[in-house]
């Protein structure tokens, strides 16, 4: 309470000076005239002249017993003149004349003198020594009041109260002042009845009429007498002249209306109180906000509550909760989330925490943030065992588990249930399937199969059942467990109504491949035909043309060449991505059906249209073979020479040399033939074709009369092809055995020793690959890179494509993106299968991106996308990097389109990054609503990807900052700091929060009154 005691004191002290003597005689002696003159001067407050007169009198009389009164007045005049010796003179008088009537008055004068100087310690000291029974009535009342006030000033309220209570009685100049102070002290002690009585007495006096109302209104408020607060307070506010502290009275009246739930009137008084104030006490601002909320003034509620919600106390917790409710009324669910989150995290008011937790979970559920629902309610039953919201919380939590992508927790939750309803088991079937999909996408195929078996144990939803069997077949196919894959795909056909699902058709394709890879071509043929005959399959499907090719292959293997050619032609017409393979196979079939010219034409088309095809070497070789078999030796030699001279890294070079040598022999060119046969034995002594070469060399040397040279090459051949117990072979096989048993550290010195001992061995190229790969698997990447680079540069190992993949990957990891791109490019040319080719393209795409070659990044991404999902994440990566390249080129609209496609298509880390980047693009385009909406949808789809989840919420805080929503930004950053698992994200959040707090100007709270409103 603000006590205007200085004004009250000044009022109490108004009045005249001391009267020294009421009446004096008319005639005096000459000595007495000095005394009389002194009294008159004293009464007129001419203390200096009075003191001189009294001094003259004392000197003339020269009798201490007769001059006691004069000595008294002399000393007291000194007090009024502030003489330094005055106090001592008065004390000397009291000590010299203890029985004198003015001895008591002397202490009174000393006390009041020091009181006037505000030296309350001295005032107390001397006023306590003034005997009450020797003071007149006026002096006694003055002494009581001033002593009481001195104690009051020294905060000795007990003694002050006793004196004010005594002094307030009767009708004298200090009674109203004492009533005022007694009323205040009674209020302070909680004696509201006493306080009211005293203050009402003080209020009768004009001097206190404008002072008392504020204090009396506060007393009524403290009593909880809100009706009287309103009645008395409103009456006081109408007074003339105006009462003191009218704004404080308005606050009390407003609060009284607030307590009576009349929030409309309360708001009017609160606004009057707040008008013109730069800062408000947080309690007042909370009540203003609450009243606004109750009055449905949502904007006012948000503005007031937001200012209080920052505080980490009970008031801040309540403000945060009602701020959340206000945002809900404003249909701003995202901001409401931040407010409820703030309220639920404070462990102050458990009821508020409980309600806020349920609201937070409920709102997250509505927004689809199921993982956050699970996180917030996971310990609810433990934290609030007797909650009235228990059933509601359980329902929300169960539904969140069933709808979240945190399938492991959902599965664990359901498996712990003592009783499971039909609906819960249906959900269990679904979430175990979803978890299996995640495991499959993470290439954890064995675990995926185990999870699929759980799902298949509850075959309620037939579509999910079909999907589970299909995915199980896919997992077995990747593991090349063809019989199991066939069984799983076959189970799809046995599922009721499966013919109406997409998995029926997909399983046709999958089982066709499983039979094909298991070399059961007749059965594979049936399923590929059924797949292609399905009306739901469209030509744009990347598997459509592929199925045509596999069907043609089946006809080829089963020697139905006309059907093979028919389907190869259809695959070409469908513009298959593998048209180079089709042209090659068609050339082979034409040759087998004695249509040589068409065979050559098909192979030439391949070489012209796809010069970098992985089948180009085979096409050149096959052209040579066709001419060779038709005795067209000169063109055959030209084809073989093209392969040998221009494609020296091809694995077909040994066969080409052998065939060219035979062709030279047939053209009667033994010298050239002998050179080719010798070259096979010199360069490829362990190749199977070397057996043919040694016989051909023997025949050529004999026909050319050079048989003596055969022994040299026979020795070389025998050295390269020893018996099975030959030392070189034993050592190489021993090192390989360690490698294949994953004992890489033991294998390394064995391969090193082999390369040193047998530098000319035909196994050197492969040994060097095994050495490099052993280094890689043992974690020594520097030596791995050195060895595998040699393999890649030499280009003779049968493991060349693997070596190129390893070298490219390591260069990429080392940040040598240009080098990586070169090796990925070579890998693309020599890739042995679709997977290797997709890996090469994916590495090449990323390398181009990190060398800022964004246009080539887009070209390679387009090629990957056109190929379909040839590996698990190649397609998704291509979608992502096509977006990132456009983003880097500042094509923001195109980037947004690409990221949207990637985020929708990919459920892996590529999708998570794309989802974040889409929000970031919107942010850069200042589309803050779209950015927030997309960002908040992240946790529902990609909650498992902690890093991108953290980056998304950091972006959300940035959006709030530019929207001037500091409370929401801080709340978001605090949530990251408390909940994020990635330390990099946590540190970035701390940095952002510190910067935000430094730049956020918050109004300090005003000093609170003594009372708690």
Angle at 582 between CA 581 and CA 584, to 5 degrees: 65
Residue 374 pLDDT > 70, yes or no? yes
* Number of Cβ atoms within 10 Å of the Cβ of 631: 9
What is residue 625's predicted lDDT score, i.e. its pLDDT?
Answer: 94
- pLDDT tens digits along 433-450: 999 998 998 889 999 999
Which CATH class name applies to 1-161? Answer: mainly alpha
Select the more confidently predicted residue: 1005 or 208.
208
Residue 726 pLDDT > 50, yes or no? no
| Whether the Cβ atoms of residue 551 and residue 525 lie closer than 8 Å to each other | yes
What is residue 391's predicted lDDT score, i.e. its pLDDT?
Answer: 77
62 φ/ψ angles, rounded to the nearest 5 degrees? 55, 35
Residue 1013 pLDDT > 60, yes or no? no
Sole residue written with tokens 């007694």: 182
- pLDDT tens digits along 831-843: 877 778 888 999 9
What is residue 729's predicted lDDT score, i.e. its pLDDT?
Answer: 74
What is residue 735's predicted lDDT score, i.e. its pLDDT?
Answer: 87
- pLDDT tens digits along 612-664: 888 999 999 999 999 999 999 999 999 999 999 998 888 899 999 999 999 99
Sole residue written with tokens 């002399």: 74
Residue 16 pLDDT > 50, yes or no? no
| Whether the Cβ atoms of residue 387 and residue 354 lie closer than 8 Å to each other | yes
Q: Is the preceding omega at residue 241 within 30 degrees of 0, hence cis?
A: yes
- pLDDT over 70 percentage in the chain: 93
- Tell me the CA distances in angstroms from 633 to 629, 669, 690, 777, one per residue in order: 9, 11, 21, 48
Evaluated on CA atoms 752, 757, 761, 763, the torsion sign reads negative
Evaluated on CA atoms 353, 357, 358, 363, the torsion sign reads positive
What is residue 1007's predicted lDDT score, i.e. its pLDDT?
Answer: 28
- Tell me the CA distances in angstroms from 89 to 80, 95, 624, one per residue in order: 13, 10, 141
Using 50, 70 and 90 to split pLDDT, how confident is the model at 157? very high
Dihedral (C-alpha) 559, 565, 566, 571: value to the nearest 10 degrees? 120
Reference 876, options 934, 915, 850; nearest CA is: 915
Using 50, 70 and 90 to split pLDDT, how confident is the model at 1002? very low
Select the more confidently predicted residue: 836 or 262.
262
Residue 499 pLDDT > 70, yes or no? no
- pLDDT tens digits along 50-85: 989 888 888 888 777 667 888 888 888 888 888 888
Dist. CA 904–CA 793, nearest whole Å: 42
Q: At what angle do helices 86-96 and 101-116 cross, to 10 degrees?
A: 160
Dist. CA 202–CA 556, nearest whole Å: 118
Tell me the mean pLDDT in the region 781-785.
94
DSSP 419: S
- pLDDT over 90 percentage in the chain: 60
Dist. CA 167–CA 829, nearest whole Å: 111
What is residue 17's predicted lDDT score, i.e. its pLDDT?
Answer: 40
| Whether the Cβ atoms of residue 848 and residue 878 lie closer than 8 Å to each other | no
| Whether the Cβ atoms of residue 881 and residue 852 lie closer than 8 Å to each other | no
| Whether the Cβ atoms of residue 74 and residue 100 lie closer than 8 Å to each other | no
Tokens standing for residue 983: 């330390």
Angle at 979 between CA 977 and CA 981, to 5 degrees: 90
H helices of 224-281, in order, are 226-237, 246-259, 263-274
Question: Which residues 6+ apart lie within 8 Å of 387 measured at CB?
Answer: 354, 380, 381, 393
Kind plus residue range of the DSSP H or E element containing 1009:
none
* Range of 104-113, 114-123, 959-968, 991-1000 with top mean pLDDT: 114-123
Tell me the mean pLDDT in the region 253-282.
94
| Whether the Cβ atoms of residue 181 and residue 202 lie closer than 8 Å to each other | no
Dist. CA 965–CA 94, nearest whole Å: 75
| Whether the Cβ atoms of residue 531 and residue 547 lie closer than 8 Å to each other | yes
What is residue 539's predicted lDDT score, i.e. its pLDDT?
Answer: 66
| Whether the Cβ atoms of residue 932 and residue 955 lie closer than 8 Å to each other | no
- pLDDT tens digits along 420-431: 667 778 888 999
| Whether the Cβ atoms of residue 74 and residue 101 lie closer than 8 Å to each other | no
Using 50, 70 and 90 to split pLDDT, how confident is the model at 695? confident
Dist. CA 725–CA 546, nearest whole Å: 46
Using 50, 70 and 90 to split pLDDT, how confident is the model at 243? very high
Using 50, 70 and 90 to split pLDDT, how confident is the model at 1003? very low
What is residue 796's predicted lDDT score, i.e. its pLDDT?
Answer: 83
Reference 809, options 821, 800, 796; nearest CA is: 821
Reference 737, options 747, 728, 729; nearest CA is: 747
Averaged pLDDT score across all residues of the chain: 88
How many distinct helices (H) and strands (E) make up the chain? Answer: 57, 0
- pLDDT tens digits along 942-966: 877 889 999 999 999 999 999 888 8
201 dihedral zone (left: phi>0; alpha: psi -120 to 50; beta):
alpha
H helices of 81-225, in order, are 86-96, 101-116, 120-127, 137-153, 157-167, 175-188, 192-203, 206-209, 212-223
| Whether the Cβ atoms of residue 891 and residue 910 lie closer than 8 Å to each other | no
* Number of Cβ atoms within 10 Å of the Cβ of 809: 20
Tell me the mean pLDDT in the region 792-803.
89
- Tell me the CA distances in angstroms from 539 to 257, 536, 548, 834, 977, one per residue in order: 76, 10, 11, 20, 51
What is residue 871's predicted lDDT score, i.e. its pLDDT?
Answer: 62
- pLDDT tens digits along 984-996: 999 999 999 999 8
742 dihedral zone (left: phi>0; alpha: psi -120 to 50; beta):
left
Tell me the mean pLDDT in the region 519-535.
93
Tokens standing for residue 657: 């040399």
The domain ranges of the chain are 1-161
Q: Write down the pTM of the prediction.
A: 0.58
Sole residue written with tokens 């001097």: 207
H helices of 780-926, in order, are 781-794, 800-813, 817-830, 834-850, 854-867, 874-888, 892-905, 909-924
Reference 503, options 464, 549, 535; nearest CA is: 464
The alpha carbon of 429 is separated from its chain's Cα centroid by a whole number of angstroms, namely: 31
Dist. CA 148–CA 161, nearest whole Å: 7
Select the more confidently predicted residue: 404 or 393.
393
């Amino acid at each position: 309470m603000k006590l205007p005691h200085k004004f009250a004191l000044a009022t109490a002290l108004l009045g005249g000076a001391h009267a020294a003597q009421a009446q004096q005689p008319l005639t005096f002696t000459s000595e007495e005239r000095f005394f009389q003159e002194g009294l008159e001067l004293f009464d007129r407050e001419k203390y200096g002249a009075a003191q001189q007169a009294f001094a003259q009198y004392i000197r003339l009389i020269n009798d201490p017993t007769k001059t006691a009164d004069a000595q008294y007045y002399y000393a007291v005049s000194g007090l009024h003149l502030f003489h330094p010796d005055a106090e001592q003179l008065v004390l000397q008088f009291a000590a010299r004349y203890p029985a004198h009537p003015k001895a008591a008055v002397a202490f009174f004068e000393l006390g009041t003198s020091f009181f006037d100087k505000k030296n309350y310690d001295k005032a107390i000291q001397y006023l306590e020594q003034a005997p009450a029974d020797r003071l007149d009535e006026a002096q006694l009342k003055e002494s009581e009041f001033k002593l009481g006030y001195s104690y009051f000033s020294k905060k000795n309220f007990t003694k002050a109260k006793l004196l004010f209570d005594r002094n307030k009685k009767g009708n004298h100049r200090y009674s109203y002042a004492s009533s005022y102070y007694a009323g205040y002290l009674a209020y302070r002690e909680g004696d509201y009845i006493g306080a009211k009585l005293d203050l009402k007495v003080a209020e009768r006096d004009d001097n206190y009429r404008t002072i008392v109302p504020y204090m009396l209104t506060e007393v009524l408020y403290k009593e909880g007498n809100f009706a009287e607060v309103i009645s008395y307070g409103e009456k006081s506010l109408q007074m003339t002249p105006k009462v003191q502290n009218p704004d404080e009275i308005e606050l009390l009246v407003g609060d009284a209306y607030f307590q009576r739930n009349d929030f409309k009137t309360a708001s009017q008084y609160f606004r009057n109180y707040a008008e013109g104030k730069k800062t408000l006490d947080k309690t007042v601002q909370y009540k203003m906000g609450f009243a606004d909320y109750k009055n449905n003034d949502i904007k006012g509620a948000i503005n007031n509550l937001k200012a209080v919600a920052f505080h980490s106390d009970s008031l801040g917790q309540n403000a945060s909760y009602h701020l959340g409710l206000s945002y809900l009324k404003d249909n701003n669910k995202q901001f409401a989330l931040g407010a409820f989150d703030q309220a639920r995290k404070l462990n102050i008011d458990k009821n508020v925490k409980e309600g806020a937790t349920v609201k937070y979970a409920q709102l997250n559920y509505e927004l689809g943030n199921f993982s956050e629902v699970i996180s917030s309610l996971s310990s609810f039953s433990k934290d609030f065992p007797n909650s009235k919201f228990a059933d509601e919380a359980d329902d929300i939590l169960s539904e969140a588990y069933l709808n979240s992508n945190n399938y492991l927790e959902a599965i664990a939750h359901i498996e712990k249930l003592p009783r499971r309803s039909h609906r819960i088991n249906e959900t269990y079937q679904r979430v175990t399937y979803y978890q299996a999909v995640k495991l499959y996408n993470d290439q954890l195929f064995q675990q995926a199969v185990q999870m699929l078996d759980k799902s298949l144990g509850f075959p309620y939803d037939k579509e999910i059942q079909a999907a589970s069997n299909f995915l199980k077949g896919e997992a077995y196919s990747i593991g090349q467990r063809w019989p199991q894959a066939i069984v799983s795909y076959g189970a799809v056909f046995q599922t009721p109504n499966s013919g109406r699902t997409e998995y029926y058709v997909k399983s046709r394709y999958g089982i066709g491949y499983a039979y094909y890879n298991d070399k059961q071509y007749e059965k594979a043929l049936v399923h590929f035909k059924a797949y292609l005959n399905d009306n739901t399959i469209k030509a744009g499907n990347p598997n459509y043309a592929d199925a045509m090719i596999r069907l043609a292959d089946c006809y080829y293997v089963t020697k139905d060449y006309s059907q093979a050619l028919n389907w190869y032609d259809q695959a070409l017409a469908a513009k298959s991505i593998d048209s180079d393979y089709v042209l090659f196979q068609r050339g082979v079939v034409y040759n087998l059906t004695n249509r040589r010219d068409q065979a050559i034409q098909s192979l030439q088309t391949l070489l012209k249209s796809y010069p970098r095809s992985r089948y180009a070497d085979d096409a050149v070789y096959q052209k040579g073979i066709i001419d060779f078999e038709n005795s067209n030796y000169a063109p055959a030699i030209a084809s073989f020479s093209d392969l040998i001279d221009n494609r020296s890294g091809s694995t077909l070079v040994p066969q080409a040399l052998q065939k060219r040598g035979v062709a030279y022999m047939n053209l009667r060119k033994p010298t050239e033939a002998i050179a080719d046969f010798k070259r096979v034995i010199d360069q490829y002594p362990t190749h199977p074709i070397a057996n043919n070469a040694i016989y051909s060399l023997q025949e050529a040397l004999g026909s050319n009369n050079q048989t003596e040279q055969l022994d040299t090459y026979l020795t070389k051949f025998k050295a390269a092809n020893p018996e099975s117990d030959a030392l070189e072979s034993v050592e190489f096989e021993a090192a390989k055995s360690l490698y294949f048993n994953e004992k890489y550290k033991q294998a390394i010195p064995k391969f090193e020793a082999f390369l040193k001992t047998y530098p000319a061995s035909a196994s050197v190229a492969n040994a060097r690959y095994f050495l490099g790969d052993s280094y890689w698997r043992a974690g020594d990447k520097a030596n791995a890179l050195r060895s595998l680079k040699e393999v890649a540069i030499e280009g003779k190992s049968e493991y060349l494509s693997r070596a190129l993949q390893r070298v490219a990957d390591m260069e990429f990891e080392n940040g040598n993106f240009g080098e990586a791109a070169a090796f990925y490019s070579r890998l693309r040319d020599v890739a042995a299968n679709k997977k290797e080719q997709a890996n090469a393209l994916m590495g090449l795409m990323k390398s181009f991106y990190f060398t800022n070659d964004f246009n080539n990044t887009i070209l390679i991404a387009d090629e990957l996308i056109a190929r379909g999902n040839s590996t698990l994440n190649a397609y998704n990566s291509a979608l992502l990097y096509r977006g990132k390249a456009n983003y880097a080129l500042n094509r923001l609209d195109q980037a947004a389109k690409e990221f949207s496609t990637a985020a929708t298509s990919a459920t892996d880390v590529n999708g998570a990054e794309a989802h974040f980047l889409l929000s970031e693009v919107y942010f850069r385009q200042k589309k803050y609503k779209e950015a927030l909406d997309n960002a908040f949808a992240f946790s529902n789809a990609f909650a498992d990807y902690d890093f991108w989840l953290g980056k998304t919420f950091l972006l959300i805080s940035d959006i709030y900052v530019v929207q001037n929503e500091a409370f929401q930004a801080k709340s978001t950053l605090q949530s990251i700091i408390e909940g994020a698992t990635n330390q990099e994200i946590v540190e970035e959040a701390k940095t952002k929060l510190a910067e935000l707090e430094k730049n956020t100007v918050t109004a300090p709270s005003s000093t609170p009154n003594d009372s708690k409103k």
